[in-house]
Structure 1
Amino acid sequence: MKNFLIVLLSLILFSCITTTKQTTATYTVAKDTDDLTFQDTFMGITDDNIFYDSLNFNWGASIIKGDDNKYHCFYAQMPRKYGFLCWLTDGVVAHAIADHPAGPYTYKEDVLTSRGFGNWDAYSVHNPRIKKYNGKYYLYYISTNTGDTELTPNQFNQARTKWIDNEYRALVRINQRIGVAVADNLNGPWQRLDQPIVTPAGPIANITCNPAITERPEGGYLMFVRGDKPNENTLVRSQAIALADHPEGPWVIQEQAAVGDLNAEDPCVWYDKNRQRYYAIYHAFGYLGMITSTDGLSWHKAKNYKVSDLNYKTKNGKTIKVHRMERPFVFLEDGNPSVFTVSIKTKEQDSYTLFIPLKEDSSEI
């Protein structure tokens, strides 16, 4: 009887210890790590943080650190002589270099240009994102074509300068797709794939554009893809998630929209290893907002959702209001956000790129 009681007490004690450990483990997993206040990391802008070109509109900067310890920016530029709407027909991906991630940047070369009628990327090469995976560089971009219809010079000029209610611009718009060029070196040569890598499916219709890519912690890759919301009589932008095992694809668009109830675009995305969650920032035509996800598939507004109104601050404390603030991008150095880039458009139809230095995130995990 005595031995039985000893065994019984031992079992009860072991059960209590096990329950306590399980409770503690469950609490750790369930802890809310969404405490990033991204806007609090912004530092003031100086002239070195502004990238401007007198001959071209600059748009959509993406940064990577090279083996030369310099910072390489791949961005879109469009000839000012045709007006800002020519992004859809005349975009070129260019390459600039700096000694510091927030600039100043110096133009180096044009990297990708359109390949002309008969190619899927016949017109415009735009909105690039540069990544390095497994020793190779991947330059994602968007482009378009006119299918079997070759436009006359007058028709092409309408596509270049008119809004999407023009039949020729509508034709160029509807054929937008995402592609990728691959190189062993940031200075090229760049090898393009012969076909686009993502086509419309699931929660997006008509087009695929504005890719944003990151690695998944469990392996593979995640891409934000912008398209049109299906079954709408007017233009409503929607964001989908595509997954792939390799940087070139095949990319599979998931059924659940990432941003399906808001007219928004231009997301950037990264995985926060400390918080063990994804963050994405997009512009919603009046402000920048931030969403988050723990699995990369189900997204919701971050706790500190509002990232910025349409303004920025200089180092001397002056607030500069702008007409549009788009194409956000977060550059990570050693896994931590270091620079936030955005494209600026003014009411005077001018544009330039901001490289906002970020101070170290002080949020506690």
Structure 2
Amino acid sequence: MIRNYMIFNSILVILLFWSCSPKKTPATKDLNIGALVQPVSEKHKLISQDYHIWGASVLKGFDGKYHMYYSRWKYELGHMGWVTDSEIAYAVAEKAEGPYHDVNVALPARGKEFWDGTTTHNPTVFKKDGKYYLYYMGTTSPVKAQQPTSMKNKDWWIYRNNQRIGVAWANGPAGPWHRMDKPVIDVDEDPSAPDALMTSNPAINIAPDGSIFAVYKVVGKQNGWQPVDMKNDDSYQVSKGSRVRYMVAFADNPLGPFKKHDETIFEMPGSEDEHMIAEDPYVWSQDGKYYAIVCDIKGIFTGDKGAFALMESGNGYDWNQAKHPLVLPSRVLKDNGTRTEYKLERPQLLVEDGVPTFLFGALGITVNNVHRGHACNLRVPLNR
């Protein structure tokens, strides 16, 4: 009896010690998305003979289907027509790998009197609390652009400088989508701010604490900046703005308001004078961290110019390259053993139940010796 009592006390002491000891949670495994990348098949290409197709954002809906929102504009307008005539179309699939079938135009042109009246472009989408939120770049212009348009045209820069970030919301993936009368992230009123001229290309998702965070493209106004003067052939040279950079903002609600962090992000020592370092991020959070996939314009993060690089942050505004920065090389391997002629752009990741399953990217195609004579979107499978 005494012996059983002593054994019981010993077990009790061990249990009390165990319950009072600090728990050790398993260390988060370092993300290595590049190790998951598989060769791309022709069947994983979204292409149209009638349209240029660019950025595509995909999510698994509340209905279990896969919903894609992508940029497109008429083929005859040429590549640079994205800034004047892009629209965001909607397609659906039963499986993540597709095929995707067009349903409707989610955000069509609605008239130059609206801030997003002529163009909707570069969508990114997520779902929260039973609703769908679609973020995008919108722009407008009082001047109808000459077509095919070009960065050499003054009117092109009016559309570019009027770019702003908007959000639309819907109860179902096919809409109807409700748009706002004003941008959700506008330019700063301070003429010296990094985002004084334009805001564009939103990357927006749910933060580790359940709030909303936005990473977005910005251009400021350099000294001597002037708006485009259509009567002066050279005026647009001083209208282009300063360096292209990225900023971050936070909100409690998907519809805003967003509070901006003042400093630019993705900066690296020695790159202060570079026109652009990173481009077109996709952002998300997991395991208490913020993550971004960016196009490594200068090869600073991966050593490969044009590759996709993985960045990470603990607070959303201090960013560093991840332990395994290379997500996708600048020339993508296809399942026939060849590689793409150009880099992919506009990375978008499909994450299902915390597991990345597909990486989407826009691809320019040479046609009749014309660079980006056509464009499509690739779905890069990831090994699960």
Q: Do the structures match in fold with TM over 0.5?
A: yes
5 Å matches for 1:78-157?
78-146=73-141, 150-151=142-143, 153=144, 156-157=145-146
Paired with 1:289 and 1:269, the residues of 2 have a C-alpha distance of: 12
- Partner of residue 205, structure 2: 214
Given residue 281 of structure 1, which amino acid in structure 2 is its aligned partner?
I
Q: Secondary structure at the match of 1:347?
A: strand
Percent sequence identity over aligned pairs: 32
CA offsets 1:164-201 (integer angstroms, 9 cap, x no match): x5321111111100111111111111111111010234
Q: Tell me, yes or no, if the aligned pair for 2:334 and 2:340 is still in contact at 8 Å.
A: no
1:67 CA displacement: 3.3
- Partner of residue 379, structure 2: 355
1:293 and 2:282 matched: no
- Partner of residue 331, structure 2: 311
Unaligned runs of 5+ in 2: 1-16, 224-237, 298-305, 368-372
Paired with 1:229 and 1:21, the residues of 2 have a C-alpha distance of: 53
5 Å matches for 1:141-290?
141-146=136-141, 150-151=142-143, 153=144, 156-157=145-146, 161-163=149-151, 165-201=152-188, 202-228=193-219, 231=222, 236-260=243-267, 261=271, 262-273=276-287, 276-285=288-297, 286-290=306-310
Q: Secondary structure at the match of 2:157?
A: helix
Q: Tell me, yes or no, if the aligned pair for 2:222 and 2:242 is still in contact at 8 Å.
A: no
Q: Tell me, yes or no, if the aligned pair for 1:323 and 1:347 is still in contact at 8 Å.
A: no
- Scaled by the length of structure 1, the TM-score of the pair is 0.83
Cα 1:134/1:228, change in 2 over 3 Å: same
1:303 CA displacement: 1.5
- Partner of residue 5, structure 1: none
Cα 1:204/1:263, change in 2 over 3 Å: farther
- Partner of residue 229, structure 2: none
CA offsets 1:133-187 (integer angstroms, 9 cap, x no match): 11111111111122xxx32x5xx216x6120x53211111111001111111111
CA offsets 1:116-147 (integer angstroms, 9 cap, x no match): 1211112111111111111111111111122x
Q: Tell me, yes or no, if the aligned pair for 1:34 and 1:302 is still in contact at 8 Å.
A: no
1:253 CA displacement: 1.4
Higher mean alpha-carbon deviation, 41-50 vs 260-269, is at 260-269
1:337 and 2:349 matched: no
Q: Secondary structure at the match of 1:289?
A: strand
Q: Secondary structure at the match of 2:55?
A: strand
Cα 1:21/1:206, change in 2 over 3 Å: farther
Paired with 1:321 and 1:44, the residues of 2 have a C-alpha distance of: 11
Paired with 2:159 and 2:29, the residues of 1 have a C-alpha distance of: 41
1:334 CA displacement: 0.9
1:242 CA displacement: 0.8
CA offsets 1:299-321 (integer angstroms, 9 cap, x no match): 111122222222222234x1323
1:220 CA displacement: 1.2
Given residue 104 of structure 1, which amino acid in structure 2 is its aligned partner?
P
Q: Tell me, yes or no, if the aligned pair for 2:221 and 2:242 is still in contact at 8 Å.
A: no
Paired with 1:295 and 1:85, the residues of 2 have a C-alpha distance of: 36
Paired with 2:356 and 2:221, the residues of 1 have a C-alpha distance of: 34
Number of residue equivalences? 327
5 Å matches for 1:45-84?
45-84=40-79
- Scaled by the length of structure 2, the TM-score of the pair is 0.79
1:34 CA displacement: 6.9
Q: Secondary structure at the match of 1:315?
A: coil
Paired with 2:163 and 2:348, the residues of 1 have a C-alpha distance of: 21
Q: Tell me, yes or no, if the aligned pair for 1:181 and 1:190 is still in contact at 8 Å.
A: yes
Given residue 282 of structure 2, which amino acid in structure 1 is its aligned partner?
C
The alignment's C-alpha RMSD in Å is 2.4
Given residue 295 of structure 2, which amino acid in structure 1 is its aligned partner?
H
Higher mean alpha-carbon deviation, 282-291 vs 205-214, is at 282-291
Paired with 1:315 and 1:239, the residues of 2 have a C-alpha distance of: 34
